Amino acid sequence: MKRPVKESKDPSGEHWVFYRGALGDSVLLWPMLRQWRSRGIDVVLVCDGDKGRLAVAELGIRAEDAESAKFNRLWVPKAEVEPVASAVSVVAYLGRGGEGTQAWMANARRMFPNAVIAHRSERPSRPKAVRYALPERRGVADGPVVMHVGAGAEEKRWALEKWVELARDLKGSPGARLIAGEVERERLSDAERTAFEGAGGEFFTALSELAGAIRSARMFVAGDCGPGHLAAQMGVPTVSLFGPGDPERWGPLGPAVQVVAPETPRGMDWLGVGVVRGAIEDLGRSVYGS
């Protein structure tokens, strides 16, 4: 039986974390990385480039691009590696294992000769992240309610016409801003795209654009998706809309998060515009007093 690998409490030396996955899962690592950094630990995150740059900006850690040749070689049996003697701990999220994982671990032991190396097969999740401290609350009191219309899977996506109706309801003060990512640009039908753009909706192509919109927001509203996790971990008040997913396991973590979910998991058609508007108003009163 595998023994759990304890996190090192020694702040000397570098603590490396390898993770490649969806935005929401990667952001669920932030509470752990933030707490390590607060203890003076030198953290190095190896992940996809945009996610790494965002973590550097928000957490004050270091990051390296997982697509670089020196890290891609770790999957090749008996590959030539560049030793990193300064690392004392390596946590690698590599999935369920197999020959590629065995090669990666063997190469990593040579790349990080002085480090304790832990392979974690599970994805980052809320129950593991919840043990760490939350970020400080942020949010622009007179900013817009920024709403991301996408979701990680089609069955988790709230109907676009409901997003447009909600944006219309919030048109006065403080106003609303509809946004979406590249995935939604492909998924939306022609009619949905026309309605989205007609309501002032904006498509973003980069995480830096998404982060900028979040920083400007009074509140962020999203379905079960990565941008919702990001907003919550950036400290912005967040309303998170759930249907078939489990918010206890996959809900966002932040200093001001309100989850809207049915009593039992079901499709997103359970959710009415009035329910979401009420959640926005409730969270606004608790955070801003209005």
Q: Which string of DSSP letters, residue by residue, matches 18-49?
A: E--S-HHHHHTTHHHHHHHHHTT-EEEEEE-H
Which stretches of the chain drop beneath a pLDDT of 70?
1-11, 173
Residue 8: the pLDDT is 47
- The domain spans of the chain are 14-129, 145-288
Q: Which amino acid is at 91?
A: V
Q: Which string of DSSP letters, residue by residue, matches 69-137?
A: HHHHGGGSTT------TTEEEEEEE-TT--HHHHHHHHHHHHHSTTSEEEEE-SPP-HHHHTTSPPPPP
Residue 10: the pLDDT is 54
Residue 173: the pLDDT is 67
Residue 202: the pLDDT is 96
Residue 2: the pLDDT is 40
Environment class of 19 (CB within 10 Å of its CB; exposed 0-12, middle 13-18, buried 19+):
buried
DSSP state, 156?
G
Residue 174: the pLDDT is 74
Residue 116: the pLDDT is 97
Residue 5: the pLDDT is 42
Number of neighbouring beta carbons within 10 Å of residue 193: 18
CATH class of the domain comprising 145-288: alpha beta
In contact, 42 and 88? CB cutoff 8 Å:
no
Q: How far is CA 217 from CA 62, 124, 145, 237, 238, in A?
A: 27, 27, 6, 9, 10
Q: For residues 116-130, b (16+ Cβ closer than 10 Å) or e, as one string?
A: ebbbbeebbebebbe
The whole-angstrom separation of Cα 64 and Cα 62 is 7
Residue 4: the pLDDT is 41
In contact, 225 and 156? CB cutoff 8 Å:
yes
Residue 6: the pLDDT is 44
14-129: CATH topology is Rossmann fold (3.40.50)
Q: How far is CA 85 from CA 10, 61, 260, in A?
A: 16, 19, 47
User: Strand 176-180 relative to strand 202-203: parallel, antiparallel, unpaired?
Assistant: parallel
Number of neighbouring beta carbons within 10 Å of residue 187: 16
Same CATH topology for 14-129 and 145-288: the answer is yes
